[in-house]
Amino acid sequence: MPGSLAAGYAYRSEIGGGRRRLAALLAPSLLGGAAGAALVVGLGNARFAALAPWLVLAATGLFLAGGLRQRLAPASTSGLPGSGPLALLALGQLAIAVYGGFFGAGMGVLMLALYGFWGLANLHEMNGLKSLAAAAINAAAAAYFALSGEVDWPLVALMATGAILGGYAGALLARRVGQRWVRLAVGAIGLGFSAYLLARRL
């Protein structure tokens, strides 16, 4: 959550024109994050752990396909012509948020794939929206875990420090190197993470 907030702050200028989209993402993110956390406390995450490599791999493929779509249909920096209804964006975000609260591996790639196919073209804006939506998902899930007594607070303090530094630095680096290299990096990380998760399962 703190790392996502730090990244969202670094992308604040890119998000400026997408406040209606951000508003449509936050409510389903909070609701889905809490629901996913409730599911994992009640059921455990073994099933999602088995699905995670394939979900991340599919999301990476969708994300890269979305980049190809944008090259074939050039768009403005705020979105593709004919972007879908906000209700569809919110519904997709709710599904991802439940997954994020339950397991979370590759959640960011799933959101980027959703935003690209919904019609957004500016990868920095997509990253900013994704970061703040992820913060909302993780805030809701963290609150549920804390109330359930599932949090190791000293470890949280260490991880939060690293997350804040890494989230902000990563966003600054992404803005500096340009969208093409960020898209390639996200694709490479998604494929590598899918392989890592699959290797762990095997």
pLDDT in tens, 45-92: 676 677 778 878 887 887 777 665 555 554 444 444 446 788 999 999
Tokens in use for 157? 């303090």
pLDDT in tens, 130-172: 999 999 999 999 999 999 888 899 999 999 999 999 999 989 9
Instruction: Tell me which residue of 40, 56, 191, 51 sits closest to 113, measured CA to CA.
Output: 56
Rounded CA gap, 102 and 75, in Å? 34
Is 46 exposed, middle or buried, given 0-12, 13-18 or 19+ CB atoms closer than 10 A?
A: exposed
pLDDT in tens, 7-24: 999 988 888 767 788 889
**pLDDT value for 32:** 96
**pLDDT value for 53:** 83
Confidence of residue 117 (pLDDT cuts 50, 70, 90): confident
Rounded CA gap, 24 and 91, in Å? 9
Domain that holds residue 78: 2-201
Average pLDDT of the chain, as a whole number: 84
Rounded CA gap, 151 and 137, in Å? 16
Question: The pTM is what?
Answer: 0.79
Tokens in use for 187? 């694709």
DSSP 18: G
List Cα–Cα distances, 21 to 33, 84, 112, in angstroms: 18, 11, 14
Domain total of the chain: 1
Helix (H) / strand (E) containing 173: helix 153-177
